């Protein structure tokens, strides 16, 4: 299929555009994606560091406060055991530090002062005071407003709280140093928090009591909730035991024990499935906490995530900050952008394609106009001189070249057409496949008697005589190359008469070797054939004549031979008459007989002499002639016989043979005779090898002519050149002997040579004409 210039241009342009855009889109996508993921990691790390700083900043005042309280307690303020003063002191501390949930002091005697926040309750603060005096416990609750003014009071005699039994008290007492508890869920507020406790020593070294600070760490969760880590990223804090102690969704960190009490949810069970997937396995495998910042990535629910685990904040705060975020938060926009870009690329490619089509059309229009014009010109429907449509310079040049070619082709076609139409020979073009006449000239119509229109519906084979083998069309299947047929055959004319024609057919092929048509030339040779037939007839007559000649020769021989006996008879008869005349008893009857014998023998001698003189008159004159001409003519004489006997007669005359001098008719008879003998000798030979070769060459002052055949050779017992020696039933055995005498009379000689490969070879010589030689 031929491609359209326009479509190719449009498609090519669009395709190139599309490819170029895709290339830019993908390469920028890949580099941007890498940069963004790096950025995501940096962000997670920053979040981790930020959270650590925040947690530190959040908790360090607590330590200061607890230690300050412990100092004060150690001093007389608390040592005085002035509970109201102590309460006030704790109240002031609580007011200063918003992250403190409560401050308290427990003594060794079991008394306890506890100030805590109670936002939204009767006052903003509430104090719980357990006093022990004379073995009597009193538990009092005092609600106060912001200014420490009491708002309400109550007592609870049923309260059994004992600070000394609490873990913070036990631990601080045991370690005699400031201790941090692990985070836990505060009993009263249900908020997560930690407790800091510092021992208060007696001057002697004994323990007076323990100061404690409750710090709510839910604010850390609030801080985490405020962080922006991509769109869906989260940071959480995992305690060293695997508990999640801070999470942006603080409701997730609480879990219930079997007894209904609250505890932290472990990372492996938390209601944040992504956090579970990200950090649960590491926690379960005991890989937490990590020694150094550990970036990671994981798949959850078909989406890719990046994560970072930070090392613990400090020994006192063995908390791990873990951060995760979906990759999509960073690269999602990029991916969407990429899709958009691909669509844009397709759109641009489409538009470019359309543009290309329009452009191609604009470029192609003059080319098309030119192509149409060229087609019209070559079909002859438009004059080559007709004005050229507006087109390109290159096309104009092409047009000039084309027009020149068309003019030249027309000229050639016209000349060929004239040669074809006006030729005196019959000419035709024949279709390769059907064998039908495509084009015929007037002469072929004249030869066949059919009109051109009638012939156009016929095949050559329709004209061929039914007895002549048809070969027409066979050569179309022959191997590539020129092929020509040249032969004589008979045709039936339209009027039913039979004519002889010579047919010459040449196959014309295109550049690829495909047969286009064949060109046929036809000549009517009926006249020539008729002349040939006449020659054959004449030849027959000549043959008769030759036989007559042979008889003459025989007569000559006979005359020569019979002359003596006849003369002897006449003489003897004469002598007998003389004897009879001298005898006494003359027998007149015997005398008559003898006279008759003498008379008749003389008469016979007369007849023979007359015959000899008649024969000797036929000697003919010697002339100088060209041997090859004579050979051609004798061939004409013998051709019919040879063809009938299916014998191939080959001629091999050396070039530049000189003329010979002899009796032309007699030499013709010799050649005919020798050829005929050879043809006759081949009669019983296999038809495939019936060959006769006539060769001539110069040999000293003579020309040597040989006639040889592939026949059986001379039959044994035959004495050649002897009169009446023959091997043929109807033969006379005179031919060779006469030939030899005729050649001898002409200064030549005739002999036989046997052929090494079998067959006979007769050789004769003739003198070269003195005029030339
Ligand atoms: P005729 O042809 O009447 O027999 P010829 O004198 O021409 O008389 O030939 C004598 C014989 O010589 C032939 O009968 C034939 O046996 C033999 N002869 C002549 N020419 C050839 C030949 N070319 N091949 C074989 N035998 C030949």
pLDDT band at 537 (very low <50, low <70, confident <90, very high): low
Tell me how far apart the alpha carbons of residues 167 and 462 are, in angstroms, rounded to a whole number.
131
Report CA(733)–ligand 1 centroid distance (Å). Answer: 7
- Ligand 1 pocket test: which of 716, 730, 731, 750 has the largest number of ligand atoms within 8 Å of its C-beta? 731
Write the residue with the smallest CA distance to atom 14 of ligand 1: 726
Q: What's the pLDDT score for residue 689?
A: 86
Atom of ligand 1 nearest to the CA of 762: 23
Report CA(658)–ligand 1 centroid distance (Å). Answer: 30
pLDDT band at 252 (very low <50, low <70, confident <90, very high): very high
Report CA(273)–ligand 1 centroid distance (Å). Answer: 128
The H-or-E segment that residue 693 falls in is strand 691-699
**Beta-strand relationship, 702-709 and 760-767:** antiparallel
Q: What's the pLDDT score for residue 550?
A: 63
Long-range CB contacts for residues 278-286, cutoff 8 Å, separation at least 24: 278/305, 278/307, 278/322, 278/324, 279/236, 279/238, 279/307, 279/309, 279/322, 279/324, 282/309, 283/238, 283/242
Distances (CA, A) of 524 to 230, 446, 447, 499, 528: 106, 10, 6, 7, 9
149-178 per-residue burial string, b: 16 or more CB within 10 A, e: under 16? eeeeeeeeeeeebebbebebbebbbeeeeb
Distances (CA, A) of 189 to 63, 116, 214, 217, 262: 21, 10, 11, 12, 11
- Ligand 1 pocket test: which of 691, 721, 726, 762 has the largest number of ligand atoms within 8 Å of its C-beta? 726
Report CA(677)–ligand 1 centroid distance (Å). Answer: 6
Q: What's the pLDDT score for residue 559?
A: 66
Report CA(41)–ligand 1 centroid distance (Å). Answer: 124
Atom of ligand 1 nearest to the CA of 736: 6
Dig out the tokens for 74 from the structure. Answer: 């150690």
pLDDT band at 679 (very low <50, low <70, confident <90, very high): very high
The answer, yes or no, to whether residue 450 has pLDDT greater than 60, is: yes
Q: Say which residue the tokens 């040249």 belong to.
A: 486
- Ligand 1 pocket test: which of 707, 735, 763 has the largest number of ligand atoms within 8 Å of its C-beta? 735
Q: What's the pLDDT score for residue 477?
A: 45
Report CA(657)–ligand 1 centroid distance (Å). Answer: 29
Dig out the tokens for 274 from the structure. Answer: 């992504």
Mean pLDDT on 733-759: 85
Dig out the tokens for 722 from the structure. Answer: 């002897």
Report CA(757)–ligand 1 centroid distance (Å). Answer: 19
Report CA(727)–ligand 1 centroid distance (Å). Answer: 7
Question: In 3-state terms, what secondary structure has residue 675?
Answer: helix
Question: Which is nearest to 311 in space by CA: 52, 57, 42?
Answer: 52
Report CA(549)–ligand 1 centroid distance (Å). Answer: 17
Tell me how far apart the alpha carbons of residues 356 and 15 are, in angstroms, rounded to a whole number.
11
Write the residue with the smallest CA distance to atom 20 of ligand 1: 677
Report CA(726)–ligand 1 centroid distance (Å). Answer: 6
Atom of ligand 1 nearest to the CA of 707: 23
Write the residue with the smallest CA distance to atom 1 of ligand 1: 733
Q: What's the pLDDT score for residue 19?
A: 86
Write the residue with the smallest CA distance to atom 18 of ligand 1: 714
Dig out the tokens for 643 from the structure. Answer: 């063809």
Q: What's the pLDDT score for residue 480?
A: 45
- Ligand 1 pocket test: which of 638, 727, 750 has the largest number of ligand atoms within 8 Å of its C-beta? 727
pLDDT band at 114 (very low <50, low <70, confident <90, very high): very high
Phi-psi region of 156 (alpha: psi -120 to 50; beta: other; left: phi over 0): beta
The answer, yes or no, to whether residue 628 has pLDDT greater than 50, is: yes
Tell me how far apart the alpha carbons of residues 83 and 209 are, in angstroms, rounded to a whole number.
13
Lowest mean pLDDT among 64-73, 225-234, 340-349, 414-423: 64-73
Q: What's the pLDDT score for residue 6?
A: 66
List, edge to edge, every strand of the sheet that includes 234-238. 244-246, 234-238, 320-326, 303-309, 294-300
Report CA(736)–ligand 1 centroid distance (Å). Answer: 7
Q: What's the pLDDT score for residue 16?
A: 83
Distances (CA, A) of 179 to 172, 210, 497: 6, 11, 144
- Ligand 1 pocket test: which of 720, 732, 752, 764 has the largest number of ligand atoms within 8 Å of its C-beta? 720
Distances (CA, A) of 539 to 122, 500, 610: 164, 21, 29
Report CA(680)–ligand 1 centroid distance (Å). Answer: 9
Report CA(550)–ligand 1 centroid distance (Å). Answer: 14
Q: What's the pLDDT score for residue 607?
A: 65
Write the residue with the smallest CA distance to atom 27 of ligand 1: 714
Distances (CA, A) of 673 to 394, 536, 539, 637, 767: 78, 15, 12, 11, 20
Report CA(333)–ligand 1 centroid distance (Å). Answer: 118
Atom of ligand 1 nearest to the CA of 723: 6
Distances (CA, A) of 352 to 209, 338, 345, 349: 88, 20, 10, 5
Report CA(710)–ligand 1 centroid distance (Å). Answer: 14
Q: What's the pLDDT score for residue 678?
A: 93
Q: What percent of the chain has pLDDT over 70?
A: 89
- Sign, CA dihedral 175-178-183-187, equals positive
Atom of ligand 1 nearest to the CA of 734: 6
Write the residue with the smallest CA distance to atom 21 of ligand 1: 677
Report CA(243)–ligand 1 centroid distance (Å). Answer: 140
Helices (H) and strands (E) in the chain, counts: 15, 28
Task: Indicate the average pLDDT of the chain.
Answer: 83
Q: What's the pLDDT score for residue 270?
A: 92
Distances (CA, A) of 140 to 202, 273, 454, 489: 27, 46, 143, 151
Write the residue with the smallest CA distance to atom 23 of ligand 1: 678
Write the residue with the smallest CA distance to atom 11 of ligand 1: 726
pLDDT tens digits for range 540-556 = 656 655 655 666 666 66
Tell me how far apart the alpha carbons of residues 368 and 615 are, in angstroms, rounded to a whole number.
94
pLDDT tens digits for range 399-427 = 788 888 888 888 888 888 888 888 888 99
Write the residue with the smallest CA distance to atom 7 of ligand 1: 735
Lowest mean pLDDT among 108-122, 475-489, 641-655: 475-489
Q: What's the pLDDT score for residue 737?
A: 82
pLDDT tens digits for range 545-585 = 565 566 666 666 666 677 778 888 888 888 888 888 888 77
CB contact at 8 A, 518 and 506: yes
pLDDT tens digits for range 336-389 = 887 888 788 788 878 877 887 888 788 778 777 877 887 887 777 877 777 777
- Ligand 1 pocket test: which of 733, 741, 751 has the largest number of ligand atoms within 8 Å of its C-beta? 733
Report CA(760)–ligand 1 centroid distance (Å). Answer: 10
Burial class from Cβ neighbours inside 10 Å (0-12, 13-18, 19+) for residue 606 reads exposed
Write the residue with the smallest CA distance to atom 13 of ligand 1: 726
Atom of ligand 1 nearest to the CA of 709: 23
Tell me how far apart the alpha carbons of residues 507 and 476 are, in angstroms, rounded to a whole number.
8
pLDDT tens digits for range 202-214 = 878 888 889 888 8
Instruction: Name, in order, each residue with C-beta under 8 angstroms of 549's C-beta and a sequence gap of 6 or more.
Output: 618, 669, 738
For each of the domains in the chain, give its residue range(s) and CATH number, in order of start: 219-326 (3.30.450), 423-523 (3.30.450.20), 532-611 (1.10.287), 623-767 (3.30.565.10)
Pocket of ligand 1 (CB under 6 A): 677-678, 681, 709, 711, 713-715, 718, 720, 725-728, 731-737, 760
Tell me how far apart the alpha carbons of residues 189 and 217 are, in angstroms, rounded to a whole number.
12
The answer, yes or no, to whether residue 295 has pLDDT greater than 60, is: yes
Q: What's the pLDDT score for residue 692?
A: 93
Atom of ligand 1 nearest to the CA of 718: 16
């Amino acid at each position: 299929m031929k491609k359209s210039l326009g479509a190719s241009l449009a498609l090519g342009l669009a395709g190139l555009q599309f490819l170029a855009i895709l290339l830019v889109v993908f390469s920028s996508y890949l580099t941007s994606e890498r940069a963004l993921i790096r950025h995501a990691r940096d962000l997670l790390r920053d979040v981790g560091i930020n959270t650590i700083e925040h947690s530190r900043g959040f908790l360090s005042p607590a330590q200061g406060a607890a230690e300050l309280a412990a100092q004060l307690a150690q001093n007389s303020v608390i040592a005085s055991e002035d509970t109201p003063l102590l309460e006030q002191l704790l109240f002031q501390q609580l007011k200063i530090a918003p992250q403190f949930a409560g401050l308290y002091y427990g003594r060794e005697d079991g008394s306890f002062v506890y100030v805590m926040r109670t936002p939204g309750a009767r006052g903003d603060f509430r104090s719980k005071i357990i006093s022990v005096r004379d073995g009597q416990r009193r538990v009092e609750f005092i609600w106060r407003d912001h200014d420490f003014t009491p708002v309400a009071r109550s007592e609870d005699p049923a309260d059994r709280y004992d600070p000394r039994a609490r873990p913070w008290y036990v631990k601080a007492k045991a370690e005699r140093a400031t201790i941090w508890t692990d985070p836990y869920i505060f009993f009263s507020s249900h908020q997560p928090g930690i407790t800091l406790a510092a021992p208060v020593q007696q001057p002697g070294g004994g323990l007076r009591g323990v100061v404690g600070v409750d710090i709510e760490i839910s604010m850390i969760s609030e801080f985490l909730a405020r962080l922006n880590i991509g769109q869906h990223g989260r940071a959480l804090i995992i305690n060293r035991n695997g508990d999640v102690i801070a999470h942006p969704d603080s409701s997730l960190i609480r879990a219930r024990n079997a007894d209904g009490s609250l505890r932290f949810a472990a990372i492996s069970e938390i209601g944040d499935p992504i956090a579970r997937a990200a950090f649960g396995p590491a926690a379960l495998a005991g890989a937490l906490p990590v020694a150094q910042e550990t970036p990671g990535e994981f798949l959850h629910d078909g989406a890719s995530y990046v994560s970072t685990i930070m090392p613990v904040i400090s020994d006192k705060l063995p908390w791990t900050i873990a951060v995760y975020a979906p990759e999509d938060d960073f690269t999602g926009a990029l991916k969407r952008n990429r899709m958009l870009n691909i669509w844009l690329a397709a759109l641009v490619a489409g538009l470019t394609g359309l543009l290309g089509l329009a452009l191609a059309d604009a470029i192609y229009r003059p080319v098309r106009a030119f192509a149409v014009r060229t087609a019209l010109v070559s079909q002859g429907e438009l004059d080559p001189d007709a004005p050229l449509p507006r087109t390109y310079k290159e096309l104009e040049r092409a047009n000039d070249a084309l027009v020149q070619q068309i003019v030249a082709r027309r000229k050639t076609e016209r000349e060929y057409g004239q040669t074809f139409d006006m030729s005196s020979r019959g000419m035709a073009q024949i279709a390769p496949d059907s064998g039908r006449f495509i084009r015929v000239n007037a002469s072929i119509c004249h030869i066949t008697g059919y009109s051109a229109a009638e012939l156009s519906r016929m095949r050559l084979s329709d004209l061929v005589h039914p007895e002549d083998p048809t070969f027409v069309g066979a050569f179309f299947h022959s191997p590539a190359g020129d092929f020509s047929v040249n032969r004589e055959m008979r045709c039936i004319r339209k009027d039913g008469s039979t004519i002889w024609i010579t047919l010459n057919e040449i196959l014309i092929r295109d550049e690829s070797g495909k047969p286009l048509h064949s060109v046929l030339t036809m000549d009517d040779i009926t006249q020539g054939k008729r002349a040939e037939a006449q020659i054959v007839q004449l030849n027959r007559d000549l043959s008769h004549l030759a036989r007559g000649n042979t008889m003459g020769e025989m007569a000559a021989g006979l005359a020569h031979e019979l002359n003596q006996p006849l003369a002897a008879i006449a003489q003897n008869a004469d002598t007998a008459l003389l004897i009879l005349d001298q005898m006494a008893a003359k027998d007149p009857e015997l005398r008559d007989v003898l006279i008759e014998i003498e008379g008749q023998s003389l008469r016979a001698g007369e007849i023979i002499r007359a015959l000899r003189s008649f024969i000797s008159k036929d000697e003919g004159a010697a002339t100088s002639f060209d041997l090859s001409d004579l050979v051609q003519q004798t061939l004409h004489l013998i051709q019919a016989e040879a063809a009938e006997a299916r014998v191939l007669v080959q001629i091999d005359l050396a070039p530049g043979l000189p003329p010979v001098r002899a009796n032309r008719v007699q030499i013709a008879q010799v050649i005919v005779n020798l050829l005929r003998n050879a043809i006759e000798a081949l009669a019983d030979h296999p038809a495939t090898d019936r060959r006769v070769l006539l060769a001539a060459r110069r040999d000293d002052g003579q020309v040597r002519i040989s006639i040889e055949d592939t026949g059986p050779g001379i039959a044994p017992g035959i004495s050649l050149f002897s009169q009446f020696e023959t091997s043929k039933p109807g033969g006379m055995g005179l031919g060779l002997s006469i030939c030899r005498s005729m050649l001898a009379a002409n200064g030549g000689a005739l002999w036989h040579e046997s052929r090494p490969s079998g067959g006979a070879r007769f050789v004769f010589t003739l003198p070269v004409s003195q005029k030339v030689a």
